[in-house]
Amino acid sequence: MRVSYDELKELFNQILLQRGLYEDDAALLAKIVADNSLDGVYTHGVNRFPRLVSNIEDGVVDRKARAECLKSFGSFECWTGHFGIGPINAYRAMERACELAKENGIGLVALGWNNHWLRGSTYGLLAAESGCIGICWSNTKPNMPAWGGREPLIGNNPLIIAVPERSGAHFVFDAALSQYSYGKLEEYRLKGQELPYYGGFDDEDELTKDPAVIEKNGRMLPIGYWKGSGLSIALDLVASVLSNGASVKEVGELENERGLSQVMIAADPSLLHSRGTVDSITASVLEGITSASGIDGRHLRYPGQRLAAARKENLEQGIPVIDSVWERILALNKG
């Protein structure tokens, strides 16, 4: 079935208000989850909503806690998330990074002790919508061996880089540093398929495409082997140092993947170059990709390009929702 964006957002809002969120927090979180669905990223949208609600009910997420700036110096601020609602805290941190960028060209907010931010693209797109380049990342619990090791030791820390595009089809790179997510491994296993490319190591230390083996032994493959392993350590180190927050290792010592460290960087190119110049450079780079032909004869795509098309379709036709998911969400509404 399909549900209109407005109906979905309002239903989320009602359910969250019933769970005791502040009014503005409920409205913002409802918008974030509805927007993820609108973008076609249902795993981080409508499908995830019931779990978000149960995390709030269970107290894994503190519904009344709000991110707070602890210290600031110029364009650099250190915030704590107080174990509050991850996406709300991350959104406000990136909003602030963009304000700092407008004042000083570049802004950095390091946010420690937050919860899971849901979908990193949300914060990259937020920056892009305000005309800023957005760079952000989060650490995670240990879920991948470091290069040369066997036990999960490093995080697949997602990294996001977003650049505004004139028509709103913003460039947004959003990737975790494991070749596949655990969600993808599960998807392939349930379909009874092999992974298209190596996704981890088996128990004999050989590369494998068998999703079930990797789900079981936790030996996910970092992108680019030793390179992704090094990048993962780098992102964790920078995030925990800047936020005075928990490192991947320390997150692993808490339960439920709580207390994450996140970094939000925004820069506003239009403060030095005219908006026309910025837009034309962006258009030229992106057209260099989209005008090239791929192996399959179709044009290549840039990261984020499909989101704008999904938004348009889902706004016009409604957001696709699996019937059973819709029933679960309706049942959460105690209005």
Catalytic (active-site) positions:
44
* Near its own copies in 266-295, by CB under 8 A: 267-269, 271-273, 277-278, 281-282, 284-286, 288-289, 292-295
Least distance between its own copies and beta carbon 248 (Å): 8
Q: By CB under 8 A, tell whether 159 contacts its own copies.
A: yes
* Single-letter amino acid code for the residue at 293: S
Number of residues engaging its own copies in binding (CB under 8 A): 80
> Which segment (3-11, 172-180, 306-314, 322-330) binds its own copies by CB under 8 A?
172-180
Among 50, 17, 2, smallest CA distance to 334 is for 17
Nearest residue (CB) to its own copies, 118 versus 267: 267
Nearest residue (CB) to its own copies, 60 versus 289: 289
Q: By CB under 8 A, tell whether 197 contacts its own copies.
A: yes
**Between 89 and 128, how does the x/- string for binding to its own copies read (CB under 8 A)?**
--------------xxxxxx--------------------
**Between 51 and 80, how does the x/- string for binding to its own copies read (CB under 8 A)?**
--------------------xxxxxxxx--
Residue listed under structure tokens 């010592």: 253
Terminal C-alpha separation, the chain: 23
CA 34 – CA 83 distance, rounded (Å): 23
Least distance between its own copies and beta carbon 284 (Å): 7
Q: By CB under 8 A, tell whether 237 contacts its own copies.
A: yes
Among 230, 257, 310, 328, binds its own copies (CB under 8 A): 230
Tally Cβ neighbours within 10 Å of residue 157: 28
CA 85 – CA 33 distance, rounded (Å): 13
* Near its own copies in 206-225, by CB under 8 A: 222-225
Least distance between its own copies and beta carbon 186 (Å): 19
Among 307, 320, 316, smallest CA distance to 39 is for 307
Extract the tokens encoding 93.
């941190």
Among 3, 111, 127, 153, binds its own copies (CB under 8 A): 153
Q: By CB under 8 A, tell whether 265 contacts its own copies.
A: yes
Tally Cβ neighbours within 10 Å of residue 291: 9
Among 162, 258, 145, 250, smallest CA distance to 203 is for 145
CB-based contacts of 54, cutoff 8 Å, min separation 6: none
Q: By CB under 8 A, tell whether 244 contacts its own copies.
A: yes
CA 231 – CA 240 distance, rounded (Å): 14
Check: CB of residue 305 under 8 Å from CB of residue 290: yes
> Which segment (11-19, 22-30, 43-51, 168-176) binds its own copies by CB under 8 A?
168-176
Least distance between its own copies and beta carbon 230 (Å): 4
Check: CB of residue 25 under 8 Å from CB of residue 88: yes
> Which segment (32-40, 301-309, 310-318, 319-327) binds its own copies by CB under 8 A?
301-309
- State the DSSP code for 271: G
